[in-house]
């Protein structure tokens, strides 16, 4: 039994920030947060010294052979967007994908995955400022420039810069559970969960005001009382806003609709209850605000493409496996 292997690709001219994203999430020991001990590898087309775009030099300890047994391959960014991939990298990505590794492109890393031919006929995203270029270079890809990340099963792509953190947290949530992802987000001081479908570019209030504070307090109150009913009108009233003004402000500050956000909050709570308790489906549904086990199952099927019972079984199996790996 071995620890999950995460391979992050570095290259000459990479941004230190982009490389730091997978390092932050997967490169440190997070076992006390309920995550497995990852075998994290920074690799390059050739191992050795590279120079970042910030003038720093980094010693890359692994070559492309590190991809051959990786469970997750992450390309944090890319350069030379219109140039073909070097043949060794192209072949390494293809091998990793064929044997079932999760391929992740953060920000401009999507271009490298596209150049390897792995996104043909699929949906993907990248930094909004480069989405048109991706469409022109790869017209066979359905490019969505309005989302934070796209999970297409065995390939995940994200929008620019900070959205890479959201994408990595999404991977942690999907593989190791909502509770572990929440603990990790708190530890690194990140928003616990920004949905992939949220807008890349979000207008935020320029300065705090009494109304803005009431708006935040109203949403905090919803989060702490998810078992209760929350209508758009009641939350708008608690925020001291008209329905129309609240809807507009919510879209600008959160990047999605109130209804979609509320459903996501309820699903995340249900995930944590399924992971951490043995409560019945009816009780989980009630405490998460879905009202019935039937509604809970419908929402899990729509959002997570699984059932609550299957989610609980899969999470239990993952926990058992990680414990055996840690003890080995």
Domain match, 18 and 121 both: yes
Domain match, 99 and 130 both: yes
The pLDDT tens digits for 90-113 are: 999 999 999 999 999 999 999 999
Q: Quick check: pTM over 0.75?
A: no
Task: Tell me the torsion sign for CA atoms 246, 247, 252, 256.
Answer: positive
The predicted structure's pLDDT at residue 324 = 54
Domain match, 150 and 236 both: no
Domain match, 12 and 85 both: yes
For residues 194 and 261, what is the distance between their CA atoms, to the nearest angstrom? 9
The pLDDT tens digits for 210-228 are: 555 899 999 999 999 999 9
Domain match, 238 and 102 both: no
Is 143 strand, coil or helix?
Answer: strand
Domain match, 31 and 80 both: yes
Domain match, 174 and 266 both: no
Domain match, 147 and 271 both: no
Of 155, 188, 221, the residue at which a domain comes to its end is 188
Domain match, 215 and 174 both: no
Say if 202 falls within a structural domain. no
Tally of residues, the chain: 328
Domain match, 36 and 125 both: yes
Say if 304 falls within a structural domain. yes
43, β-bridge pairs: 9, 62
Tell me the percentage of the chain whose pLDDT exceeds 70.
89
The predicted structure's pLDDT at residue 202 = 44
CATH number of domain containing 306: 1.10.10.60
Instruction: Say how many domains are in the chain.
Output: 2
Q: Which domain holds residue 247?
A: 210-324
- Which distant-in-sequence residues (6+ apart) come within 8 Å of 47 by Cβ? 60, 61, 62, 63
Give me the average pLDDT of each 10-residue run along the chain (328 residues).
Answer: 90 95 95 91 92 94 96 96 95 97 97 97 95 96 93 95 91 89 87 58 44 84 94 95 94 88 93 91 94 94 90 72 52
For residues 166 and 189, what is the distance between their CA atoms, to the nearest angstrom? 12
| H or E segment to which residue 295 belongs | helix 293-304
């Amino acid at each position: 039994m071995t620890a999950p292997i995460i391979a992050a690709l570095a290259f000459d001219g990479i941004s230190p920030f982009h490389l730091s994203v997978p390092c932050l999430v997967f490169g440190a020991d997070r076992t006390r947060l309920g995550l497995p001990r990852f075998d994290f590898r920074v690799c390059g087309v050739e191992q050795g010294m590279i120079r970042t775009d910030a003038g720093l030099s980094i010693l890359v300890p692994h070559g492309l052979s590190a991809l051959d047994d990786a469970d997750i391959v992450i390309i944090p960014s890319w350069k030379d967007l219109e140039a073909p991939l070097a043949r060794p990298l192209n072949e390494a990505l293809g091998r990793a994908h064929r044997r079932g590794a999760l391929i992740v492109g953060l920000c401009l890393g999507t271009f490298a995955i596209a150049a390897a031919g792995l996104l043909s006929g699929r949906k993907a995203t990248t930094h909004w400022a480069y989405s048109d270029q991706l469409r022109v270079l790869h017209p066979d890809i359905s490019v969505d420039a309005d989302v934070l990340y796209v999970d297409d099963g065995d390939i995940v792509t994200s929008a620019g810069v900070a959205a890479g953190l959201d994408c990595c947290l999404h991977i942690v949530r999907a593989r190791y559970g909502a509770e572990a992802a929440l603990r990790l987000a708190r530890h690194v001081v990140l928003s616990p969960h920004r949905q992939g479908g949220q807008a890349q570019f979000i207008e935020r209030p320029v300065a705090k005001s009494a109304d803005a504070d009431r708006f935040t307090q109203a949403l905090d109150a919803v989060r702490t009382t998810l078992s209760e009913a929350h209508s758009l009108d009641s939350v708008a009233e608690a925020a001291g806003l008209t329905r129309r003004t609240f809807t507009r402000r919510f879209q600008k500050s959160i990047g999605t609709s109130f209804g979609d956000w509320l459903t996501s909050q309820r699903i995340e709570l249900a995930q944590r209850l399924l992971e951490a308790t043995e409560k019945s489906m009816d009780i989980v549904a009630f405490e998460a605000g879905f009202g019935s086990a039937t509604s809970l199952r419908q929402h899990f099927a729509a959002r997570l493409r699984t059932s609550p019972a299957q989610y609980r079984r899969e999470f239990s199996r993952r926990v058992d496996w990680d414990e055996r790996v840690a003890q080995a």
